[in-house]
Amino acid sequence: MFIFFFLCFCRYPAINKPAGIVHWLKYSKDADDVDWVVILDADMIIRGPIIPWELGAEKGRPVAAYYGY
């Protein structure tokens, strides 16, 4: 299984991140070989393994975490 990590080190409106992922999925040949896409910000800390199906993710059903700003 291959998981692609997308790290954002930029300060753009939030729409740029989803639009960038859609563009990558549409135009990249590498996207055909990806099973899961994990979107992380540069200030996030990974405290354990990310197992998509244990979080409820499946094809066509994304999952997200609550962010309190």
Within a domain: residue 67?
A: no
Question: Could you report the per-residue pLDDT of 16-53, keeping only the tens digit for each?
Answer: 777 888 888 888 888 888 888 888 877 778 888 888 88
Residue 65 reports pLDDT greater than 80? no
Distances (CA, A) of 18 to 4, 15, 61: 14, 6, 15
Within a domain: residue 16?
A: yes
pLDDT value for 68: 65
What domain range is 31 assigned to? 8-43
Within a domain: residue 65?
A: no
- Cβ(36)–Cβ(1) under 8 Å? yes
Within a domain: residue 19?
A: yes
Within a domain: residue 12?
A: yes
pLDDT value for 55: 86
